[in-house]
Structures are given as C-alpha cells and as structure tokens.
Structure 1
Amino acid sequence: MTQSVVVQVGQCGNQVGCRFWDLALREHAHVNKVGLYDEALSSFFRNKGGDAIAAVLIDMEEGVVHRILQGPLREVFDSAQLLTDVSGSGNNWAVGNLTYGSAYMDSIVNKLRKAAEHCDCLQCFFLIHSMGGGTGSGLGTRVLSLLEEEFPDVCRIVTAMYPSAEDDVITSPYNSVLAMKELTEHADCVLPVENQSLVDIVNKISLMSHDAKPGCVLKKESTVTSGQGGVSPTERPFDAMNNIVANLLLNITSEIISLWN
C-alpha cells in the first residue's frame, strides 16, 4: 500500500531521515497498540514480506548508516536498500555528482526501482540531503536527476539543508551553488532549511524547556524537543537540530497523506 518513498543521501540526510522514522513510529505507537503498520502509515510502510520502511539510504561514508543498523530502527530497514562506500566525497560536489554518481548509477537506479515496485500507486519521492557536503550536494542532486529520468511523472519533493554563513567547510558555498542549479532544474518542490536558523530554534526550545513561568514550559516528552522525548545533556547539538527538521517533515507528510487518502 506504500505510496511514498524517502531517499536519504549523505550524512545529514540519513541523520534527519533516521529522526523522521523514529518520530513517525513513536507517534503512531500512541494510537496503534497492535504493532502493525495499518492504513495510517501505509503511505510509508509495508507489511508484505516483513515490516519495512519505504526508504533508500545512500552515503559514501558508512559511519551513519552503520550506526542506524546498530540502533533501535535496524529491524525496519531493508538491508538491500542501503548503499555505502568508505572513502567519502571529500566535501567536493564534483566527486559526489560525477565520480560516485557514475560509479553507482546502476545500483542506485535498481534500488529506486525496487522501492517503487512495492507501491500500489507511487505518489511521491522525498529526497533528504545537505547542500554543503560533497555526498549530500553532489550525489544527492545526481539522485534527483535520476528520479526525474526514471519516474518523470512522480512528484519529487526535496528537503535541502543549507550551511550557515560561518560554516567551517570551505567548499560549502561552492557545493551549494552547484547543487542549487540542479534543484531548480529537477525538483518539483524544495523545502530549504538553514543551519543557523535551526541553531536559533534549538536555543529557544532549550530556554522554554527550563522556563518556570506557567504556560511557557515545553513538556519533556514532546516530540518537538528531541528524538528521545526531551533535550538531554548527552545529546549532540546536531541531534536536536535534525529533530526540528524531522518534525517539519512529519507535519508536512501528514497533510499530504490526508489529501491522498
């Protein structure tokens, strides 16, 4: 019954995607005690052949994907839909787009086709990637062009993570400009997210979480605060930032799903 496929590319794309799936499962668990992915989640999940997430995970460094497979979400990802390398793209758009894009093109297309085959009526691809890194910007936009070639009639919605003005990666402006050109040509809809704005939002959430004024306190179990249900000192800063984007995607997809159903 799956109607949508999420494609996660690069370190940032897979971290945000992991947060998205975690929030979707936790939200659904509040109303579904049986444990099966019913019609409420049928746009992203399938029960056939075992419960699995409709996603393709791609990264030219295996660290993030490996951690996902070692974590609590390991059972819901189809290992055949994962693609990793070990060397990375060196924060270079051309390496991700041209070198890895050419080397792994057939493999990526096969995984996209396999994911689409599980859909009764494929409605949309959600691509999550960063604009500043080599794999996210370069290979991410190469995947986007492949989606247009293979599925020209299927909507392509992109969540693009833009670097802040003070990004410590010297090539991030170069990567972002080249990636932006590809987005304008191949994406149907782009949801831009800027890192500095995420930092500002996380700081505000942290203040609200500790504010003693009535009506201003943010509940610790709120999914807005973190993937674990609250801002914790043990969490890395980008965990909370990624969680904001995951909440954005969760709210957007719930509206789209309701329209489709």
Structure 2
Amino acid sequence: MFFDGFLLRAGLAGIGVALAAGPLGCFVVWRRMAYFSDATAHASILGVAMALAFDVPIFAGALLIALGAAFAVSALSDRGASSDTILGVVAHSALAFGLVAVSLLPTVRIDLMGYLFGDILAVTRTDVALVWGGAVLVLALLAWRWSALLLATLSPDLARASGVSPDREQLVLTVTLAIVVACGIKVVGALLVGALLLIPVSTMRPFCRTPERLGALAAGLGGLGSAVGLWSSYVLDVPAGPSIVCVLSLGFLASRVVVLVRP
C-alpha cells in the first residue's frame, strides 16, 4: 500500500525538497537565474563522481561541486565574460566530465539514470534526514535574509544605499541553491531539479500579491505535486522523478488557462 516504508520515505524526501525549493525559486525567477540553477545542478553530477571516487557521502560531493561551480560562474561573470556563455560552458562541461569520470571508476557500478532523473523510491532514512536538515537550513537562511534579499533583488543601488550588500545576498542565494541541488539530486535528479525551483513559482505567481504569499504557496504546490507525482508513478509504474515534474507541469498549464479565462 501507499504508506509502505519506502513510499513514506520517498514522500517525505519529496516534500522536504519542495518546501525549500518554493521560497528559493521566487528569487531564481525574479533574478532570472534559471540557467544558473541548471548549471549548478548539472555540475553536481561531477560531485557524485568525486564522492564515489574518494568514498565520501554523495550529498557532500554534490554540495561541494555545486558550490564550486556556482562560485566559478559568479567570478568569471564579474570579470566581463558573458554570463550566458559561462553558464553554458560550466553546465555542459561539468556534466560531461562527471559522466566520463563515473565510467572510469573500475570498482563502482551505479545507475546513472538515478542521478540524472532521480531515484526517490530508493531514498534511505539517512537521505530523508539529510534532505530535511538541508531544507531547514535553507528556510532558516531565507527567513533571516528575506528582507535584504528582496531589496537587493529589486534595486542593488537602493540596497547599497540602505547598507545592504548585494554581493553578500548573492552569496546567500548561491549557498542555498547548492544545498537544494544536493538535496534534490536523489529526488528528481540533476536534470530535473530546476523544475522544483521554477514551475511552482511560475504557476502561483499570477495569484499572489505579496512575495511571502508566493513563497508559501509555491512551497505548498511543490509538496503537493511531489506527493501526487509519487502516487502516480506508483499506480502507473513509471519513473517517479519525471512523474513529479509532469504533475507540476500540468498544474502550470492549468494556471495559464485560469489566467486566460478569468475576467
């Protein structure tokens, strides 16, 4: 039945990632960081390979490489290079090197599809604890810096005049994004984790008048989509990670229809 142990763990993991991704996704959308989040997520595959090579936890390897990629993109962009170009190079290069590195590990045999598209049904109690620990940390950071992040997002010049450093707030977003990517890689995979950041926020955006309401509703929708997607995958015997994204995508389409027909 649905509340079997592995399904309950999967549901808890999906909801945990969604709760953190919802509020963070607001800033990803407002700052137009969608490609930045994808580049960070793709780089996490290299972190998986490094973790397997040095026999350290997958979460730690994915987090370190995601942070490194995010900082590298920020540093290179600040030096005048085109941000779109740098993002593309980092995203594709890190993903390719990660896939090649995994194939060169002679004593390791893993299912790459699980890291690319998620393997939420295989999460352990330790994975659930890491996901919820990361989610609590992300939510705490966002709650602490929420007003400053909003100000830096709306107007960097006004933020500086008010004593808020836009660079520091960008650092907060970079760290929280890397944590969400590391948490989400086991749930929906490196190629789909960006969907949890973007789709719930984009779905609820037309119906919210305040940033706080948008963050809360995006988190709730992401959690609901994770639960429904997991149930659908169980019933239809299809991959869980893509099913979650499909459910969220259908919700987005429904919201567009509502926006078009409402007076």
Indicate the TM-score class for this superposition, using the shorter chain for normalisation. under 0.3
Q: As a proportion of its length, which structure holds more strand? A: 1
Q: As a proportion of its length, which structure holds more helix? A: 2
What is the TM-score normalised by the length of structure 1? 0.27
